[in-house]
Amino acid sequence: MESPPQDDTCSICLGSFTLPCQANCSHWFCGECILNVWHHGSVFQQCKCPICRCFINLLKPTDASVQEGKDTKASQVLKSIKKYNRSFGGEPSNLIQKLQDLPFFIRRLATELMDPRRPLPSVFRAHITFAVSKSENSGKMMHNILN
Ligand SMILES: [Zn+2]
Ligand SMILES: [Zn+2]
């Protein structure tokens, strides 16, 4: 299937599709809508399809979307979709590619960390706990040495 069903609407914004993308589970979303779903979750994890709850590892924009992508806003969305696919999809990516995508992830991570409503991602919490327990231990060690 190359384009979303005629009478269908995006189940996220409930409107007609803008830059329609098909997920690997065969559901259709606006490019921007599905990226927003991902933005609500963790940067390190694929987002789940809001309809069938399966993990999305591929978002395929239609040819028409790619055409539309010539205007700036749409091309931003398409670029993000490509990066999403590279990070979570089965597409092979090399280290250079990953490094090139890094600023994208850092920006995304920064918004995640700065959001006060969101708890810290568990990876960071683990790091912090580790750092704290390490400094406690070295404190004890210093104490033992000094006494
Ligand atoms: Zn939508
Ligand atoms: Zn689905």
Instruction: Please give the distance, rounded to the nearest whole angstrom, from the Cα atom of residue 82 to the centre of ligand 2.
Output: 19
- Total tally of structural domains belonging to the chain: 1
Domain housing 91 = 20-140
Residue 32: nearest ligand to its CA? 1
The Cα-based distances of 82 to 76, 86, 88, 140, 144 in angstroms read 10, 6, 10, 50, 55
Report if residue 10 sits inside a domain: no
Under 8 Å CB-to-CB from 130, ≥6 apart: which residues? none
* pLDDT tens-digit series, residues 83-106: 899 888 755 556 666 667 777 777
Report if residue 11 sits inside a domain: no
Instruction: Please give the distance, rounded to the nearest whole angstrom, from the Cα atom of residue 18 to the centre of ligand 2.
Output: 18
* pLDDT tens-digit series, residues 38-83: 988 887 789 999 999 999 999 999 988 787 767 788 999 999 999 8
Report if residue 8 sits inside a domain: no
Report if residue 4 sits inside a domain: no
What does the chain come to in residues?
Answer: 147
CB 44 within 8 A of CB 113: no
Residue 56: nearest ligand to its CA? 2
> For the whole model, what pTM was predicted?
0.63
Under 8 Å CB-to-CB from 50, ≥6 apart: which residues? 11, 12, 29, 37
